[in-house]
Amino acid sequence: MQNYIERSIYLHTFEPDETALVSRYLRSGMTVVDAGANVGYYSLMASSVVGGDGHVY
């Protein structure tokens, strides 16, 4: 991977403190709004946690 962000996301080292904070509050079935999604990291993370019963916008 040539890009720092791609590599960090792949290695699970991208924004570790922020990821831990957001992960602490997300639950299956929740609805999440990712305003200013940038590369979409938190949208992808949220979608894997909220699952098919939740929504990510």
CA distances from 38 to 5, 29, 46, 50, 53 (A): 11, 24, 14, 20, 24
pLDDT of residue 39: 86
pLDDT of residue 2: 81
**Do 53 and 27 touch, CB atoms closer than 8 A?**
no
Amino acid 6 reads E
From CA 55, how far away is CA 49, in angstroms rounded?
10
From CA 16, how far away is CA 54, in angstroms rounded?
23
pLDDT, one tens digit per residue, over 8-49 is: 989 989 999 999 999 999 999 999 999 987 889 999 999 999
pLDDT of residue 25: 96
Which one is predicted more confidently, 1 or 48?
Answer: 48
